[in-house]
Chain A
Amino acid sequence: MSSSYKNKYRSVEIVRGPGVWATIGFVALAALAQTTLAPLLTFRGVMPSFITIAVVLFALRTGITRGLIVGVIAGLLEDALGSGTGGAWTIATALLALGVGRIARSFFSDGFTILSAIVAGSVLVRNALFWFVMRIEGYPQGLALTHAHAAVYQALATGVAAFIYLVIRTRFVVDATSVQRI
């Protein structure tokens, strides 16, 4: 890479990736599955967060703007389907999408393990943000710590679910991502 490249271009922007509407549809399905099939999906008290998988993988491939759109919609859905959360999931998921979308500007990986690890880490970050917002909304202090144990297990379960999803996906879908220097 020449030095002129660095002067001319600040980063790369993904201009073609998964469709926003398709991803929103997937997020809606994931939210409905999580709320209606919870007893079937729960193992040892935790359930993989399919919504986090969708938001993080999408934001990683499409960047900040589109990631944020999907993140806000996903969070809104969770707040609507849950109870007493106010806008905690909306804020937490939007911030997560923002952060992950920012990473996408300087990071690209096709490795399943790395992507799954990012998804697992995102679950922890999202939970921390959620309980932080809940604290601001007036919930008792220390709930994040109370739920930390469950959050770690959920992160592991979600990471494994993301890995399985990625493995299965590569067998059926060929990515058509292209990037543009900006």
Chain B
Amino acid sequence: MVPIFTYRDERKLFALIGVVIVAALVALLQVSFARQGRTSPLTVLVTTTATYVEIALAAVRDNSRGAFETVVRTPGLARENAALRDENVRLLDENLAFTEELARVPAERDAIAAQMRYPRSVPANVIGYDPEGALHSVTIDRGSKDGVRRDDGVVTVDGAVGRIVDVTLLSSKVLLVNDVTSRIPAVVQRGRWWSIAVGTQTRVKLQYVPQDAHLKPGDAVITGEGRSFHAGILIGRIAAVTPSAAGALDQSALVEPAVAFGRLNRVLVLQK
């Protein structure tokens, strides 16, 4: 009987021989690198690939475990979350209170300093401004019941604010020194030159300063003894000197007020 030889069997044989050869080559390569004490490229390739797969599998495992634990611990987590929310609200409130306390410190400090400088004064809060800003005036929360009278001077620790022009039982109106209708006696501190401080809406203008007064920017301008103020309260500092015309008897200067009128909060009423 003649043995049957098929092409199919020949391919299987070749494949088997090929696999044996490749395996032998791999084995030889591994043995060779092992003998040299180095890691073979094949090992590196396999290890690297395996590492990535391990990372992916570990991530899946951890997330699965996390999800499982989350499901198991949900009731406990809800309670913990509620407690943390309550604590967060309490801490936010506390933080707000501390921030407010901190913001009050400079104002309180200024108020105390002003009160020490003017011990017989009446402290007051600014509660309103002129509704249209046509006149520069503010409303304070002290009136005739507190002893406030018309023409009393109003100051802060920084300097002169204005004078009382209207008094009711519970509140008073203060005309600011930068209002165009405000006029108060003033003195340039350095040379004791007398003048009149007139409001210009944004600043104060010194009028009728003697021609021989050598005014300089930065000179302090203080109140002169008058109906509303005692002498020596700072009005502001000279910002610019207006050159006088030839033959003029007096000169004028612009004064930057010492008080920031847009941020008035606490003031003192000086009772005369």
A, B: real partners:
yes
User: Which residues of A approach B to under 8 Å, CB–CB?
Assistant: 31, 34-36, 38-39, 42, 45-47, 49, 51, 77-78, 81-85, 89, 127, 130-131, 139-140, 143, 146-147, 150, 154
Given contacts A83-B173, A83-B175, contact A143 B180 (CB under 8 A): yes
Q: Does B51 contact A (CB under 8 A)?
A: no
Given contacts A83-B165, A84-B137, contact A39 B132 (CB under 8 A): no
| B139 in contact with A81 (CB, 8 Å) | yes
Report chain A residues within 8 Å CB of B180. Answer: 140, 143, 146
Report chain B residues within 8 Å CB of A42. Answer: 133, 262
List 21 interface pairs A-B (beta carbons < 8 Å), by A numbering. A35-B130, A36-B127, A38-B128, A38-B130, A38-B131, A42-B262, A45-B133, A47-B132, A77-B131, A81-B128, A82-B132, A82-B173, A83-B173, A83-B175, A84-B137, A85-B135, A127-B134, A130-B134, A139-B181, A146-B180, A154-B132
One of B130, B133, B263 near A83 (C-beta < 8 A):
B130
A85 vs B165: C-alpha distance in the bound complex, in angstroms?
A: 11
A36 vs B180: C-alpha distance in the bound complex, in angstroms?
A: 22
Report chain B residues within 8 Å CB of A36. Answer: 127-129
How many pairs of A and B residues are in contact by the CB < 8 Å rule? 81
Report chain A residues within 8 Å CB of B263. Answer: 39
- Closest CB-CB distance, B128 to chain A, in whole Å? 4
A47 vs B129: C-alpha distance in the bound complex, in angstroms?
A: 11
| A39 in contact with B137 (CB, 8 Å) | no
One of A35, A127, A143 near B139 (C-beta < 8 A):
A35
| B262 in contact with A39 (CB, 8 Å) | yes
A31 vs B181: C-alpha distance in the bound complex, in angstroms?
A: 23
| B201 in contact with A146 (CB, 8 Å) | yes
One of B129, B175, B202, B262 near A35 (C-beta < 8 A):
B129
Interface secondary structure of A, over-half rule:
helix
Q: Does B152 contact A (CB under 8 A)?
A: no
A89 vs B133: C-alpha distance in the bound complex, in angstroms?
A: 12
Closest to A123 in B: B132
Closest to A33 in B: B131
Q: Does B141 contact A (CB under 8 A)?
A: no
Report chain B residues within 8 Å CB of A83. Answer: 130, 135, 137, 139, 165-166, 173-175
- Closest CB-CB distance, A24 to chain B, in whole Å? 16
A178 vs B137: C-alpha distance in the bound complex, in angstroms?
A: 43
Report chain B residues within 8 Å CB of A49. Answer: 132
- Closest CB-CB distance, B213 to chain A, in whole Å? 26
Report chain A residues within 8 Å CB of B134. Answer: 82, 85, 127, 130-131, 147
Most buried by A among B128, B132, B165, B201: B132
A109 vs B175: C-alpha distance in the bound complex, in angstroms?
A: 42
Q: Which 8 A-B pairs have the closest CB atoms?
A: A83-B173, A38-B129, A34-B131, A35-B128, A83-B137, A35-B131, A82-B130, A78-B131
| B132 in contact with A89 (CB, 8 Å) | yes
One of B127, B135, B201, B202 near A82 (C-beta < 8 A):
B135
A163 vs B165: C-alpha distance in the bound complex, in angstroms?
A: 37
